[in-house]
Amino acid sequence: MTLKNNTEALRSGDRIALAKTISQIEDQTEEGRQVLSALFPYTGQAHMIGITGSPGTGKSTLTARLAREFRNPSVDIQPQRVGILAVDPTSPFSGGAVLGDRVRMRDLAGDEGVYIRSMASRGALGGLSAATDSVAALLDAVGYDVILIETVGAGQDDVEIVRLAHTTIVVAAPDQGDDIQAIKAGILEIADILVLNKADLPGVDRAERALCSALELAGTHRTFNDGSGHHREQAIELHDSRPGWRPPLIKTIALSGEGTVELHQSIAAHRQYLVDGKLWDAKNAARLTSMLEKQLREHLYQNWQNRVDQKAYKRALKSVLSYRVSPYQAAIDLLKQPE
Amino acid sequence: MPEDKIRVLMSKPGLDGHDRGAKVITRALRDAGMEVIYTGLRYTPEMIVEAAVQEDVDVIGLSILSGAHMSLVPRVLQLLKEARLDKIIVFVGGIIPDEDIPELKKSGVSAVYGPGTSTQTVVKDVRELVGSPSA
Ligand SMILES: Nc1nc2c(ncn2[C@@H]2O[C@H](COP(=O)(O)OP(=O)(O)OP(=O)(O)O)[C@@H](O)[C@H]2O)c(=O)[nH]1
Ligand SMILES: [Mg+2]
């Protein structure tokens, strides 16, 4: 298929073309990049929403509930078209992956306004795959209004989502036990909205108190910052980037759907907050800036690799391996090679 | 670093609730380096084909113990054909009487595996079938 035919098919809602193009992007092919370039002017419309949190807290079940709420809003607004990207970890040993998030999204079947894609992390760290931002951009360009991105859910390392999403939802559950403590320390700082799911389980009150006090703490970091703690500094930085927003705590039972309407409203409120405070544009600008920089880094490296004198490279490597020249100095020398 | 992973949709159509076999195959294919989308139980043929479209899979594995294979499997293949996705390879695992196998194969199934099949056989077949999709 020619590029023009393909972009036309994509823009007119051809799902097979969409699925194939996503694979091209995941496989980092030249065709994939060309399509993304051609469709780039149509991006920048969608609300990107991240859903993160420890394994088994109910992210997928909640994502499906949220998708249904966006499709059939209980308030009087237009139904939104929903794209879902669900990332699961690639095994570092085999390179394979089990992508199981669809199990919880069965109820969305048959809805033409929903597109679900499971993605393997393919070695990327930080809870997403290297192609997740590009695939999200593609869904944006072909008219999905809301893009729900479920991260790997490894816990505190899932921080990449903050760069990609306008709104980040952190999901916790009462049966996480000590993990609630971990949330206090780490991932809480990235939450625009905190969800306590499985509110039907015993221990929900205790978990709620723990999360509430952690949220309070996160909100008052500024006053007792003495510059000593790493987490503390990070929290302040993020907190300062969203003045006037206090992350709400919302209790849900994803199994029954309880709390989904409140969560949906809270997401709408966060979107409004971003738009009113010009933070929506700022987030998009930050994302695009980091995408451009990533491309530059990759191309610069590729260019250098293409024209470096292989003999000089081998010599430099040898001198590093024999502890004569440091890797720091060797890199500088190699970059100084005449072209 | 570009790569081209084999993607497999493992699904359990029909009403029986035993997914052990499907899970064993899922893990074996994962361990062989494939990306396996697992759908869980009670998927209809329509849901399976919709998921196969969205996930751009090369292979669909169907695990059926309920005895309903003669209605479910041909329906999946027919829907694939209608979606012009008959390039996707379909294999079936479960309790399938020998006399049903020829007809399943005629409807487009590439391989049928009974309860005793080793996972290595499945992995090897899937690799070969994807390598030569016309086979
Ligand atoms: N009791 C109860 N169980 C729930 C609730 N929501 C989800 N579950 C169950 O929790 C388990 C995990 O749910 P998932 O939606 O797969 O959780 P997840 O966070 O996506 O899991 P991973 O993707 O594996 O990290 C499933 O057995 C769900 O049925 C809830 O509100 N209450
Ligand atoms: Mg999940």
CATH number at residue A106: 3.40.50.300
pLDDT (0 to 100) of residue A27: 93
Pair (A119, A27) in one structural domain: no
Tell which residue, A37, A10, A267, has the closest CA to residue A143: A10
What distance in Å separates residue A306's CA from the closest CA in chain B?
Answer: 15
Nearest to B50 among A22, A27, A110 (CB): A110
Give domain status of residue B69, yes or no: yes
Q: Taking phi first (over 0 means left), then psi (-120 to 50 degrees means alpha), and beta for anything else, what does residue A173 get?
A: beta
Distance between CA atoms of residues A193 and A166, nearest Å: 11
Q: Which atom of ligand 1 is nearest to the CA of A54?
A: 25
Cβ of residue A174 lying under 6 Å from some atom of ligand 1: no
Report the residue among A85, A255, A256 best suited for mutation to probe ligand 1: largest number of ligand atoms under 8 A from its CB: A255
Distance between CA atoms of residues A102 and A87, nearest Å: 11
Contacts of A115 in chain B (CB under 8 A): 54
Cβ of residue A58 lying under 6 Å from some atom of ligand 1: yes
Distance between CA atoms of residues A173 and A166, nearest Å: 23
Pair (A15, A137) in one structural domain: no
Interval B82-99 mean pLDDT: 93
Pair (A61, A23) in one structural domain: no
Distance between Cα B119 and ligand 2 center (Å):
26
Give domain status of residue A87, yes or no: yes
Task: Give the residue numbers spanning the domain of A16.
Answer: 1-40
Spell out, as residue ranges, where chain A has pLDDT lower than 50: 220-239
Give domain status of residue A226, yes or no: yes
Q: Which of A279, A306, A325 is the last residue of a domain?
A: A279
Contact A95 B33 (CB under 8 A): yes
Count up the domains in chain A and report the number: 2
What distance in Å separates residue A233's CA from the closest CA in chain B?
Answer: 35
Pair (A119, A17) in one structural domain: no
Q: A154, A127 in Cβ contact below 8 A?
A: yes
Report the residue among A52, A61, A200 best suited for mutation to probe ligand 1: largest number of ligand atoms under 8 A from its CB: A61
What distance in Å separates residue B98's CA from the closest CA in chain A?
Answer: 31
CATH of the domain at B76: 3.40.50.280
What distance in Å separates residue B57's CA from the closest CA in chain A?
Answer: 9
Pair (A121, A262) in one structural domain: yes
Q: Which secondary structure element, helix H or strand E, spans residue A28, and what is its range?
A: none
pLDDT (0 to 100) of residue A223: 34
pLDDT (0 to 100) of residue A279: 93
Pair (A115, A51) in one structural domain: yes
- pLDDT(B80) > 80: yes
Tell which residue, A31, A103, A177, A194, has the closest CA to residue B38: A103
Where b means 16+ CB within 10 Å and e means fewer, B19-53 reads: bebbbebbbbbbbbbbbbbbbbbebbbebbbbbbb
Cβ of residue A24 lying under 6 Å from some atom of ligand 1: no
pLDDT (0 to 100) of residue B134: 45
Q: Which amino acid is at A209?
A: R
Give domain status of residue B109, yes or no: yes
Q: Which of A279, A308, A324 is the last residue of a domain?
A: A279
- Average pLDDT of chain B is 90
Cβ of residue A57 lying under 6 Å from some atom of ligand 1: yes
Pair (A33, A67) in one structural domain: no
Q: A3, A34 in Cβ contact below 8 A?
A: yes
Separation of CA A13 from chain center:
24
For chain B, positions 55-114, list CB contacts with chain A under 8 A.
55-56, 83-85
Q: A261, A74 in Cβ contact below 8 A?
A: yes
Count up the domains in chain B and report the number: 1
Pair (A3, A126) in one structural domain: no
HSE-up (13 A, CA, CB side) for residue A283: 27
Pair (A141, A11) in one structural domain: no
Give domain status of residue B43, yes or no: yes
pLDDT (0 to 100) of residue A227: 41
Cβ of residue A258 lying under 6 Å from some atom of ligand 1: no
pLDDT (0 to 100) of residue A224: 34
Tell which residue, B19, B64, B15, B68, has the closest CA to residue B40: B19
Pair (A118, A252) in one structural domain: yes
Give domain status of residue B135, yes or no: no
Nearest to B55 among A103, A118, A122 (CB): A118
Cβ of residue A134 lying under 6 Å from some atom of ligand 1: no
The label of the residue with tokens 């309880």 reads A258
Q: Taking phi first (over 0 means left), then psi (-120 to 50 degrees means alpha), and beta for anything else, what does residue B85 get?
A: alpha
Output the six-digit token pair for A133.
């931002």
ipTM comes to: 0.93
- B125 and A CB contact within 8 Å: no
Task: Give the residue numbers spanning the domain of B94.
Answer: 2-130
pLDDT (0 to 100) of residue A214: 80
Distance between CA atoms of residues A146 and A63, nearest Å: 12
Contact B32 A19 (CB under 8 A): no
The label of the residue with tokens 């194939």 reads A20
Give domain status of residue A323, yes or no: no
pTM listed for this prediction = 0.90
Alpha-helical regions (H) of B1-135: 20-31, 45-55, 69-82, 101-106, 119-131
Pair (A122, A246) in one structural domain: yes
Distance between Cα A88 and ligand 2 center (Å):
8
Contact B38 A100 (CB under 8 A): yes
Pair (A26, A142) in one structural domain: no
Give domain status of residue B119, yes or no: yes
Cβ of residue A197 lying under 6 Å from some atom of ligand 1: yes
Could you say which DSSP state residue A200 is in? T
